[in-house]
Chains A and B, each alone.
Chain A
Amino acid sequence: MKKYLENKSFLCGLILISFFLLIMLVGFFYLPCDPNFTDADNRFAPSSLEHLLGTDHLGRDILSRIMWGVRISFSIGFTVMISGCLAGLVLGSLSGYFGGWTDRIIQKLVSVQMAFPGILIALMLIAVFGTDMRITLLALCLMSLPRFTRITRASFIKLKESLFVRAARARGAGHFRIIAIHIIPNILPELLVTCSISFALAILSESGLSYLGLGVQPPYPSFGRMLNDAQRFIFANPRGVLIPAVFLVAMVWGFNLLGDGISEVNEK
């Protein structure tokens, strides 16, 4: 852990993400205002003690909406990361460990998916099943899947003929034991990098979909939707665009930094 903390990228990323985690945790217990409370007399209010970051075109408190938005981004990022990682781990290890036809079929499916620009899969699923949070999550998981599968497969191919695996095999360990106990712990650093990047990408894609009005649905605030709303009033209230943009970028950047930091330490 110490060598990670000595890495500047990792440390900066960690600080940024901790900051957002803090915002999210505080948001569970205390929100300055109701994020959906509209106040027509108080549109585009500047910063004040009552509304620290001002209000939007419906007079809603921007800070409270941001705090909700962070919560939503985190839960989406986390769900996508965990499920993408688990599914990718299973597919990647099957593909890398067993090789042959299993490998060929899985690789073909991965390459089919890589041929789509990620967002197209999401759009197609949303077109068929409608705007539903579960569908959005499913689409985002599918988008993160190839990355996990590829990285797991590559590491498995590298490790499956290594001495410690051969030793385990010679002692009579079964396939499952070799995969789960001997190989997977050794690819954790690489997986962590992918996890962190997938987290960032999930937040990015979700905000893109929400911008198009196809992601998180009102009344829940999300960064993409806030940006879309604010863009319509960009002349009247340019601040409304800047604030969610800064928060969104800082969050994504935090996860990218974390990923970079881990991979820098791994390479040393």
Chain B
Amino acid sequence: MTFRKFLQGSGHFFFFRKFFDFMTTLFLISLLTFLIFQLLPGDPLLAILGPDADAAQIDAMKEKLGLDQSLLQRYFKWIWGAFHGDLGISYQYDMAVSRLIRGSFFVTAGLAVITLLFTFVIGFSTALFLAQIIKSRAFNFLSTINQIWFSIPSFCTAILLILLFSVKLGLFPTMGYVSPSQGFFLFLRSMALPALSLALGSGSILSRYITSSIKSQLKQDYVRTARSKGLSEKKVIINHVLRNALIPSLTIFGLIMTEILGGSIIVENVFSLPGIGRLIATSIQSRDFPLIQGLVLYLAFITLSCNFLVDMLYRVVDPRIRLQGEV
């Protein structure tokens, strides 16, 4: 029995294959992130120390950064450190990168969770509403509006929301972050607009996807049967169609997560939230390479893990995929 057959027989072949994919992709990403920073034009030491540095300073820095070692040695040192949560020292803050990331992680994670919640509420309610009026004239009009949301970049939505809710109505702060320890309500209030500006975009993607999935399900025979039993359109959709239509929408969850993480980089800057995105923008401006390197690796890891989890979840929810994966 070959190893492949053994894995297939164990019933976990799909899992192993996906996990292998996950690990190789992660490896390539770490390699890419590492190598790209070796392409830095000019001498990185002069970039850190400034042009006035003398030879002794340069040698000391070289040793501190490990630049006297070979490329391969440095890569393994870096990746070994990364596994242990040690991503180097930030030039700008003179602090461990992992500590900086940990400090801002909570903000971004909080933003992502609230955004995800909003996305589901907006996505599902819009899709369910649109599905029920699929044959009416209003459907085209409303799906056009949905499409406009889809075309607005999140930072643009953010500014427009600030204009409406903060400047005109004065309901929310224009920017700034309040940590939950200072009051949970205030925390939610400072997160509401950033989360909404991300969720309007991703919610419209979700609802578009679910609506088209419902649309294609409505052509199936079982829908005709359900209708001929005399069920109302609402019941047909909620009891019969929705369950089948939702499974494909799980695949889009990975995409939405990527969208939210990418969008939060900019939106955090719009609202001055001290999260990962803000950290990235400031670290680029100050050319703080260990920090950027760590942040990129970290974000890519999170995105990849989300996609991996979605794949697994998809398999649990729809047993048909399980069979396809193994045959």
A contacts, CB < 8 Å to B: 8, 108-109, 111-112, 114-120, 123-130, 200, 204, 207-208, 211-214, 224, 227, 230-231, 234-235, 238, 241-242, 245, 248-249, 252-253, 256-257, 260
Contact A208-B155, Cβ < 8 Å, known A116-B300, A123-B265: yes
B28 and A112 form a contact (CB under 8 A) = yes
A249 and B156 form a contact (CB under 8 A) = yes
Contact A227-B167, Cβ < 8 Å, known A112-B29, A120-B296, A124-B296: no
Point out the residues of chain B lying under 8 angstroms from A208, CB to CB. 153, 155, 266
Point out the residues of chain B lying under 8 angstroms from A248, CB to CB. 153, 156
B156 and A227 form a contact (CB under 8 A) = yes
A256 and B144 CA atoms in complex are apart in Å by 11
Distance to closest chain B CB from A235 (angstroms) = 6
Which chain A residue has the least Cβ–Cβ distance from B296? Answer: A124
- Which residues of chain B from 99 to 150 have any CB-CB distance to chain A below 8 Å in the complex? 140, 147-148, 150
Point out the residues of chain A lying under 8 angstroms from B287, CB to CB. 127
A49 and B40 CA atoms in complex are apart in Å by 50
Distance to closest chain B CB from A119 (angstroms) = 5
Point out the residues of chain A lying under 8 angstroms from B323, CB to CB. none
B156 and A115 form a contact (CB under 8 A) = no
B40 and A119 form a contact (CB under 8 A) = no
Distance to closest chain B CB from A114 (angstroms) = 8
Interface CB pairs A-B, < 8 A, 12: A111-B25, A115-B307, A116-B296, A117-B265, A119-B265, A204-B153, A207-B156, A211-B269, A227-B155, A230-B159, A241-B159, A248-B156
B152 and A249 form a contact (CB under 8 A) = yes
Contact A117-B151, Cβ < 8 Å, known A127-B292, A212-B269: no
Partner of B167, one of A123, A127, A130, A234: A234
Instruction: Identify the 7 closest CB pairs spanning chains A and B, nearest first.
Output: A117-B262, A253-B151, A252-B151, A115-B304, A127-B284, A112-B28, A127-B292
Distance to closest chain B CB from A111 (angstroms) = 6
A124 and B33 form a contact (CB under 8 A) = yes
B159 and A234 form a contact (CB under 8 A) = yes
Point out the residues of chain B lying under 8 angstroms from A256, CB to CB. 147, 150-151
